[in-house]
Amino acid sequence: MKQSNYQKNIKYMVLSAVFAAMVFVLTAFVHIPTHQGYVHVGDGIIYLSAAILPGPYAAASAAIGAGLSDYMSGYAIWVIPTAIIKGLTAFCFSSKKETIICKRNFIAIIPAALICVGGYFIAGALLAVISGTPIQAALIASLADIPSNGLQAAASTVLFIILGASLDRVKIKNHL
């Protein structure tokens, strides 16, 4: 039986909420504090949701889950930058392939990591300048988090590949 657009939209909204909750949990409760924020593997779920859901739904789940995590973890100043960065990250992946782990989504890890690392570098510097820090000092302070943001992207990639390969083995996309 073919699903109506209404049924598809409801299914996508429910899956978006589930993915947002998963991003929130893995980000808010499983993290290591760093210089300006924390390292987590919630991005692995963002990558996964983006390989399963259409772009706008994946971006919404990424922005909501990660933004809520920042807010609830005491980093409210980061909610807007995080929502933008994670939403853009989700658009790197494609849900149009038959499998989660495919050449296109594997390559998408690179721009996703660059958006994350570069986005947080820019956001960190801007937030520091807005708070009165001189530009040079703001850039230096923001540089200090590049290694931890790179580590976060690498750890999230490992989680994405493990979960994606496991879900591909059971052909999860055929059941959704």
72 C-beta neighbours (distance < 10 Å), count = 14
124 C-beta neighbours (distance < 10 Å), count = 24
Give the mean model confidence (pLDDT) for residues 54-78: 96
Share of the chain above pLDDT 90, in %: 88
pLDDT tens digits, 2-59: 778 889 999 999 999 999 999 999 999 988 888 777 889 999 999 999 999 999 999 9
For residue 1, pLDDT over 70 is answered with no
Residue 152 is predicted with a pLDDT of 93
pLDDT tens digits, 104-163: 999 999 999 999 999 999 999 999 999 999 999 999 999 999 999 999 999 999 999 999
Residues β-bridged to residue 40: 31
Domain boundaries, given as residue ranges, for the chain: 5-175
Architecture per CATH, 5-175: Orthogonal Bundle (1.10)
The predicted model scores a pTM of 0.93
Structure-model confidence comparison of residues 1 and 58, the more confident one: 58
Closest CA to 64 of 48, 80, 41: 80
Q: Is residue 112 within 8 Å of 93, Cβ to Cβ?
A: yes
Burial of 88 from C-beta contacts in 10 A (0-12 / 13-18 / 19+): middle
